[in-house]
Amino acid sequence: MKKARAFPIASIGIIGGGQLGRMLVRKAHQLGCHTTVLDPTPDSPAGQLAGRQIVAGFFDRRGIAEVVRTSDLSTFELEAIDAAYLCQLADEGHRILPDPRLLLTIQDKYLQKCRLSELGLPGAAYVEVEQPSAEAFAAFGYPLVQKARRGGYDGKGVVVLRSEKDFSRHLPVPSILERLVPIHKELAVLVARNPSGQTAVYPVCEMVFVGEANVLDMLVAPADLPTEQLIRAQELAVKCIAALGGTGVFGVEMFLTPEGELLINEISPRTHNSGHYTMEACMTDQFEQHLRAILDLPLGDTCQLMPAALVNLLGEPGHSGSPAVLGLDEVLALSGVSVHWYGKNNTAPYRKMGHVTVLDPDPARAREKAMQVKDILRIVSQT
């Protein structure tokens, strides 16, 4: 007997109204779901498209209770939320995926590193420092990477300190210190798992970073690596998410060392910026895949149909306020280009305002065109 599913298939609560939430809302509606988004900013990128937005902060328990209690199933698009309260709501029987207990571990970089080491997964050596001091840093040894235990994103909360002279730039918060890894390439692999245990893995992406703000600059998929290394990266990502017992889509960020060793940098318990290429380039994009996974539907095919390169559209330094885009017409005249605008009402220096995906049968040309797009498009302020 075929299973009947009444419309809507489910009402989905989404904590976080940013661009990831926005793209999730679009797919949720396509799949026949209703959506409620929680975000403190009225008219948030996801709230603009959702059935309903609850305007409340990510630690506002009244707001969180409302979204969770009025939805069949809740999920989140960022880590810095009240995971302890979500655990309580899950214990009361509300469906929240990924498991908020796993979020509780992941949102603290120290607990996350401990869990990954317990599971025998490879990563940079680390120590915890409750109160940063010159002595503790020197005892660990330079060069090192200091990471705030909580609240970091987009490279904020991470500093590279090469010698004792750099100690003045340290972050005065509870942290971990990590060995500075020699990086040949930074990779990200998306993995989806549903509660039935079905797993799907996407092609490996290569992330390229810019110096100053340490924000992702360009992303290429598939990564330009020998097949053997690509397979190893995918296997490691699948092993990691299976060991963590994750449900939903997860991004596994890794470093490939010059010796060919793979080290896990961190796990994102949500869809990931590095997976945006899947929207145009793969049979099933990461947002639909996340919904299929949390709804325990069969996972979609992750096959990549064409090589892709992606650039983020970051707010131009020196510009804040209502955004304007320069060069849109020129960029849209190129073939294989898709522009995504996140609907943020204000731009700020380096703020992620959108992204552009370029598809081309020739990966080198996709990359070239993406660099061209980066040169042409500018997000400035209107005044």
Ligand X SMILES: Nc1ncnc2c1ncn2[C@@H]1O[C@H](COP(=O)(O)OP(=O)(O)OP(=O)(O)O)[C@@H](O)[C@H]1O
Q: Among ligand X, Mg ion, none, what binds residue 145 when CB lies within 5 to 8 Å by partner kind?
A: ligand X
Three-state DSSP state, 11: strand
- Give the binding site for Mg ion (CB under 5 A): 253
The one among 224, 266, 296, 368 contacting ligand X by CB under 6 A:
266
Provide, rounded to whole angstroms, the least separation between the CB of residue 181 and ligand X. 4
Binding of ligand X at residue 153 (CB under 6 A)? Answer: yes
Give ∠ CA 319-320-325 in degrees, rounded to 5: 65
Provide, rounded to whole angstroms, the least separation between the CB of residue 241 and ligand X. 16
Cβ atoms within 10 Å, residue 23? 25
Which residue, 68 or 148, is less far from Mg ion as judged by CB?
Answer: 148
Q: Please tell me the chain's helix, strand, coil percentages from 3-state DSSP, rounded to the nearest 5.
A: 30, 30, 40
Residues 6+ apart with CB under 8 A from 251: 188, 189, 190, 267, 268, 270, 271, 272, 274, 275
Which residue, 77 or 253, is less far from Mg ion as judged by CB?
Answer: 253
Span of 30-38, 52-60, 151-159, 224-232 interacting with ligand X by CB under 6 A? 151-159
Distance CA 113, CA 108 (A): 9
Instruction: Read off the DSSP letter of residue 47.
Output: T
Distances (CA, A) of 296 to 70, 73, 342: 20, 11, 28
Provide, rounded to whole angstroms, the least separation between the CB of residue 123 and ligand X. 8
Q: Going residue by residue from 155 to 194, which x/- string records binding to ligand X, judged by CB under 6 A?
A: x-xx-------------------xxxx-x--x--------
Beta-bridge partner residues of 249? 192
Q: Among ligand X, Mg ion, none, what binds residue 213 when CB lies within 5 to 8 Å by partner kind?
A: none
Contact 361, 306 (CB under 8 A): yes
Contact 267, 191 (CB under 8 A): no
Binding of ligand X at residue 130 (CB under 6 A)? Answer: no
Binding of ligand X at residue 208 (CB under 6 A)? Answer: no
Q: Among ligand X, Mg ion, none, what binds residue 208 when CB lies within 5 to 8 Å by partner kind?
A: none
β-strand 34-39 against 216-221: which pairing, if any? unpaired
Provide, rounded to whole angstroms, the least separation between the CB of residue 79 and Mg ion. 11
Q: Among ligand X, Mg ion, none, what binds residue 331 when CB lies within 5 to 8 Å by partner kind?
A: none
Provide, rounded to whole angstroms, the least separation between the CB of residue 34 and ligand X. 30
Binding site for ligand X (CB under 6 A): 124, 145, 147, 152-155, 157-158, 178-181, 183, 186, 209, 214, 253, 265-266
